[in-house]
C-alpha cells in the first residue's frame, strides 16, 4: 500500500509539522503509515526526523526511506501494530533547514547553467548544515565562484516567490531546455510532473522535495569549497547564513 506523501500537496504543506495516520505494516523497527509528513531520503535531500505518538507513548523517528511505501525507522521496542492510530510530529528546525538548502540548490544550479555554457547539475546532496552540487562540464575559477555567489545572493535579496504545480513533460520542455531540468533522468512512463518554480522562470524544475515560500527565508549562500570529481565534473560545497525571515511552522494537524 502506497503512503500518501502529505508534504507534496503544496509548497505550504511543507510548513505543517503535525499529522495523524494509521499503521499499515510493521517490519521489526520499521513501520509504514497510510499517510506521512516525513520526507524520505531521495532526490539528493536527506530525510526528516521527529516523533510518532502511538498507544504506547512517544517514539523517535530516526530514519525515513522509500518512495511508494514510506518506511519510518523507530526504536526497536516500539510495540506498534497494524491498525494503530498514531500522531506524527516533524522536527521543524531540520525540515526548514532542508527546505532552505534545497531551494538554494535550485538557484545555484540555474545560475551555473545560464552563466557558464549550460553546465549541468549531475548530482547533489542536501544536508541541514551543508550541501554540495556536482556540475559537468566545467572547471571553476575563484572568479567564477565569486560571480555565482553574487548572482545567487542578489536573487535571494530580491525575495522571489516559490510555487509548485503539476505539468506535463511537454509543458516543462516548452519552458526550460530538457538538459537543464535533467528530464532524461525521469522515467518515460511519468507523464504528470510536480514542478517547482522560482520567480518568473528564474528556475523551473521537476522536484519532489520540500521548499521555502520565498527566497528571503534562505539567507545568503556561501561557497565553502570546490573539488574535482574527474572527467570534467567539479563539486562545489556551500553553507547558508542566517535568513532575513524566520517563519514559524503550522501546528494544525493534517
Over the stretch 174-200, which tens digit does the pLDDT of each residue have? 988 888 888 887 888 888 999 999 999
Phi and psi at 233, nearest 5°, equal: -100, 130
Q: What is the pTM of this model?
A: 0.96
How much is the average pLDDT of 210-239? 97
Phi and psi at 107, nearest 5°, equal: -65, -50
Whole-number pLDDT of residue 63: 98
Whole-number pLDDT of residue 52: 98
Buried/exposed code over 39-70 (b: 16+ C-beta within 10 A; e: otherwise): bbeeebbbbbbbbbebeeeebebebbebeebb
48 in Cβ contact with 64 (< 8 Å): yes
Given a cut of 90, whether residue 248 has pLDDT beyond it is: yes
The three cell numbers of residue 136 are 559537468
The three cell numbers of residue 130 are 551543508
Domains of the chain: 4-90 (2.40.30.130), 95-240 (3.30.980.10)
Nearest to 238 by CA among 111, 76, 71: 111
207 in Cβ contact with 43 (< 8 Å): yes
Amino acid at each position: 500500500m502506497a503512503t500518501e506523501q502529505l508534504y507534496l500537496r503544496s509548497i505550504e504543506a511543507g510548513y505543517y509539522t503535525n499529522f495523524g495516520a494509521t499503521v499499515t505494516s510493521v517490519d521489526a523497527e520499521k513501520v509504514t503509515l497510510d499517510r506521512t509528513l516525513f520526507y524520505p531520503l531521495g532526490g539528493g535531500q536527506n530525510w526528516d526526523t521527529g516523533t510518532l505518538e502511538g498507544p504506547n507513548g512517544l517514539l523517535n523517528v530516526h530514519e525515513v526511506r522509500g518512495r511508494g511505501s514510506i518506511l519510518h525507522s523507530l526504536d526497536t521496542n516500539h510495540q506498534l501494530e497494524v491498525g494503530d492510530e498514531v500522531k506524527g510530529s516533524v522536527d521543524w528546525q531540520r525540515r526548514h533547514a532542508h527546505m532552505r538548502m534545497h531551494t538554494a540548490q535550485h538557484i545555484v544550479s540555474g545560475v551555473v547553467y545560464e552563466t557558464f555554457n549550460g553546465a549541468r547539475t549531475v548530482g547533489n546532496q542536501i544536508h541541514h548544515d551543508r550541501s554540495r552540487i556536482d556540475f559537468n562540464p566545467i572547471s571553476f575559477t575563484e572568479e567564477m565562484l565569486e560571480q555565482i555567489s553574487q548572482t545567487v545572493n542578489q536573487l535571494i535579496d530580491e525575495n522571489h516567490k516559490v510555487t509548485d504545480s503539476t505539468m506535463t513533460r511537454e509543458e516543462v520542455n516548452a519552458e526550460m531546455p530538457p538538459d537543464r531540468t535533467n528530464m532524461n533522468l525521469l522515467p518515460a512512463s511519468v507523464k504528470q510532473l510536480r514542478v517547482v518554480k522560482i520567480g518568473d522562470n528564474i528556475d523551473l524544475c521537476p522536484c519532489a522535495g520540500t521548499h521555502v515560500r520565498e527566497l528571503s527565508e534562505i539567507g545568503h549562500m556561501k561557497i565553502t569549497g570546490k573539488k574535482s570529481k574527474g572527467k570534467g565534473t567539479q563539486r562545489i560545497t556551500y553553507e547558508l547564513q542566517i535568513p532575513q525571515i524566520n517563519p514559524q511552522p503550522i501546528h494544525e494537524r493534517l
